[in-house]
Structure 1
Amino acid sequence: MTQQEKTIPVVIVGAGQAGLSMSWYLCREKVEHIIFEAKTACHSWDDERWDNFCLVTPNWQCALPGHPYQGNDPHGFMVKNEIIDYVRGFVASFNPPLREHSAVTSITRHEAGGYRVVVGDEVWHAGHVVIASGAYQDAVIPGYASAIDPSIFQIHSQDYRNASQLPQGAVLVVGSGQSGAQIAEDLFLENRKVHLCVGSAPRVSRFYRGRDVVDWLADMHFYDLTVDNHPLRDGARDKTNHYVTGRNGGHDLDLRRFAREGVGLHGTLATIRDEVAHFAPDLKENLDDADRTNADIKKSIDAYIAREGISAPTETDYVPVWEPDGGNMPLALKAAGITAIIWCIGFRPNYRWIDVPVFNGANKPVWRRGVTDMPGFYFLGLPWLHTWGSGRFSGVSRDAAWLASQITGKDVPIA
């Protein structure tokens, strides 16, 4: 039997902060639309974060449209439950046309123009489609993981909650980006022996010369820098985020200090074979590069302070508190007492359900400020879609307003 087709001007796929922000502007502009969400609104904050998760950016950067942070700690860092409450408050503030537990399984071009969107046993015809499902669908776990002895517990960072979830014993954390570095600290604070595979992620200080580094960078208009003006241009989208934490008021994550206090640091994990982990000989290089990035950020702040004639306390240069002696020697997992591995090596986007020519040869979507070459087809909420904040609470409102202007054909002011 032919499915009955429903028609609507705009379909939004995904009800994270990006899709909800898009909906907020369309509601304000009185544009009929619907949001389809495979799970529940902003479920990832609840379902894919560990118990002690907190923001790494200060609360004042939480600026969803019409819903700025209103708490009494703008320079603090919301913990998991506070983040969930903030997002739920945003949803309640405007009651979006949301369909939860409604996964979009197919999007194709419609013979009458626009797009054909399949959701369960429903077919929708939309003139505009906004893909706001994010870039973190498929957890990355290497193929050789399946050959590791099943007595060693394995989990991806999105499924880690706390130390008690793991068997007793040492833990191998693979990856030193934001999740890996913070999870390593979380385990260490629970008195677990931790081994950390250090990759090429850069680091940044939490505070410098009397202020949060984010405050300095905001004053320097770093967060207004567009990807077109970034020195790396599109390459900025492939860069790993700097590791730092907002835990307990915020502090640096200095992996050298971790090592001095008992965390085992290793180079990039090359493979695990016969329960022996093999590492690249890049531990010192990766630590030095991370420190160099941090030093460069501080130098840019120093230059800004000098240029603007700002009175600010001075700080001495960072001196490494620990130096590696090798870091690439193989590690026999069971001999080291390792009973668990946490994979913190990221995600891949999953766009297999989109059959619209908006992807390049590497199956990556191609857009300019979220607008693709296919009329009425957009992406929102991806890292560096337009600026650093495009995938975050701080910049998604600006991007959503821009796409709303493309849909309505008129200027849509940012809330």
Structure 2
Amino acid sequence: MNDLKQHAARTAGITETDTLVVGAGQAGVAMSEHLSKLGVPHLVLERKRIAERWRSERWDSLVANGPAWHDRFPGLEFDDLDPDAFASKERIADYFEAYARQFNAPIRTGVEVLKVERNVGRPGFRVETSDGVIEARRVVAATGPFQRPLIPAIAPADARLTQLHSVEYRNPQQLPEGAVLVVGAGSSGVQIADELNRAGRKVYLSVGPHDRPPRSYRNRDFVWWLGVLGLWDMETVQPGKEHVTIAVSGARGGNTIDFRELAQQGITLVGLTKAFADGVASFQPDLADNLAAGDENYRSLLDAADAYIARNGLDLPEEPEARRTFPEPECVRQPILDLDLAEAGVTTVIWATGFAVDFGWLPESALDACGKPSHQRGVSSEPGVYFLGLPWLSRRGSTFIWGVWHDARHIADHIATQRKYGDYLDATQREAEAPAQNATRQGAR
């Protein structure tokens, strides 16, 4: 049996496509749009529903961190929202479903990708899924950065405590009675702590290193300022900022996060969580330093915005109150370094400590020694494999809705270019085979 017949026998009943996109969240939908525009045959697989994480893996009151005019794709607006409003999580999920319908995206839901293996002796990959095998020349991992909830090893083995990751939190009513320790003060931790405090819970908020931009300044949202100042397009993270979170929120119409203000409202701030032992949580003595660094980040953006306005002669209203500082609360002047959880009435610990990636289903050659993607702007070191939706994939804005759309365009262009090289190779091979085939036919006569 010749090679072509052997391959046909192996692939009988197997789906074939040029490019397989894994994940139908914002990254997968963006990827499908650009591939469709370039005429690249492709298939998108989603293990649950389109934009599932927005629907079932976030708390009930979550809204987008950017306004509707900004956090969207170019091809569709939120026509039912004020441009400066913040879309709810359900509205965002509906948005991506509607966007996919606009170009009839070839999305197959309810199918999980289990393993991707490179073919031997021929191009492409063999992809095992929960619904059979797919043969693909290329694979795009569009599963994003929020794959495996990360709970630090310091989490106590204490049956008296309810412990959950922020991905499991839904609302205050979900939790048992008692005080709550929220570990992590990025966007998720701050918003959850604030919601619990407003619901009448006693809240302790563990604050580590963070950036703290103004929600808006001088009548412009901070996303606009990052845009005009070129900060969205930063290509590398600043040294020392690799693990710094951003404290920003669109909740209740959007307000600047000020930790001292949160303390005035009743939240007790503590430093970075260090350890748990014998029912006692201990914290680093770094709370004041973390707040000061956040303040410096905040003021630097105000200064850059003021300079931009002056340089360009813009008529934007001054906002001196933006530089007003709240007095240092008692929890900052006399920081708590050890907290007896039972004595403080703490019954719940919420770990707002981020996520880890999990690409164990991809070939090891596409990952580095730590199991993280090895790539340049989403193009893997393993030919034919691509990554999309990861932090700093090409720039600071890569994980934002608009940023992932632009990254997808770059990757789609790369795929289209590779297809052209492949088409040229196929054509030259056909030309080389033609004389032999003609001679065989003539001999048969």
Higher relative helix content? 2
Partners of 2:345 and 2:88 in 1: how far apart? Answer: 32
**Alignment counterpart, residue 9 of structure 1, candidates 18, 21, 24:** 18
Partners of 1:159 and 1:189 in 2: how far apart? Answer: 20
| Distance change in 2, residues 1:76/1:29 (3 Å) | same
**2:362 aligned with 1:354:** yes
In the TM superposition, 1:57-76 aligns within 5 A as 57-64=66-73, 66-76=75-85
Structure whose CA Rg is larger: 2
**Alignment counterpart, residue 180 of structure 1, candidates 175, 189, 195:** 189
**Alignment counterpart, residue 386 of structure 2, candidates 378, 390, 406:** 378
> Number of residues paired by the alignment?
405
CA RMSD of aligned residues (A): 2.1
User: What code does the residue aligned with 1:366 have?
Assistant: S
Task: Tell me the equivalent position of 1:207.
Answer: 216
Task: Tell me the equivalent position of 1:399.
Answer: 407
- Give yes or no for contact 1:24–1:65 (8 Å, CA) kept in 2: no
Q: Which moved more, 1:90-99 or 1:391-400?
A: 90-99
| Distance change in 2, residues 1:271/1:239 (3 Å) | closer
Partners of 1:369 and 1:144 in 2: how far apart? Answer: 34
User: What code does the residue aligned with 1:377 have?
Assistant: V
In the TM superposition, 1:250-399 aligns within 5 A as 250-316=254-320, 317-323=323-329, 324-399=332-407
Please state whether the residue corresponding to 1:394 is helix, strand or coil: helix
> What runs of 5+ residues in structure 2 fail to find an aligned partner?
1-8, 420-445
| Distance change in 2, residues 1:311/1:379 (3 Å) | same
Please state whether the residue corresponding to 2:140 is helix, strand or coil: strand
Task: Tell me the equivalent position of 2:103.
Answer: 94
Partners of 2:161 and 2:81 in 1: how far apart? Answer: 44
TM-score (norm: length of structure 2)? 0.86
- Give yes or no for contact 2:50–2:93 (8 Å, CA) kept in 1: no
| Distance change in 2, residues 1:410/1:56 (3 Å) | same
Partners of 1:394 and 1:77 in 2: how far apart? Answer: 15
- Give yes or no for contact 1:283–1:326 (8 Å, CA) kept in 2: no
Q: Which moved more, 1:390-399 or 1:280-289?
A: 390-399
Partners of 2:250 and 2:256 in 1: how far apart? Answer: 9
User: What code does the residue aligned with 1:220 have?
Assistant: L
User: What code does the residue aligned with 1:322 have?
Assistant: E
Identity rate of aligned residues, in percent? 38
Greater relative contact order structure (CA < 8 Å, 6+ sep): 1
Please state whether the residue corresponding to 1:331 is helix, strand or coil: strand
Task: Tell me the equivalent position of 1:114.
Answer: 124
Q: CA deviation at 1:2?
A: 7.5
- Give yes or no for contact 1:257–1:322 (8 Å, CA) kept in 2: no
Partners of 1:393 and 1:9 in 2: how far apart? Answer: 26
**2:42 aligned with 1:19:** no
Q: CA deviation at 1:145?
A: 2.7
**Alignment counterpart, residue 246 of structure 2, candidates 242, 260, 263:** 242
User: What code does the residue aligned with 1:135 have?
Assistant: P
Partners of 2:358 and 2:119 in 1: how far apart? Answer: 22
Listed one character per residue, the Cα deviations across residues 225-281 of structure 1 (whole Å, up to 9, x for unaligned) are 141xx4638x76x34342121112111111111112221111111111111101111
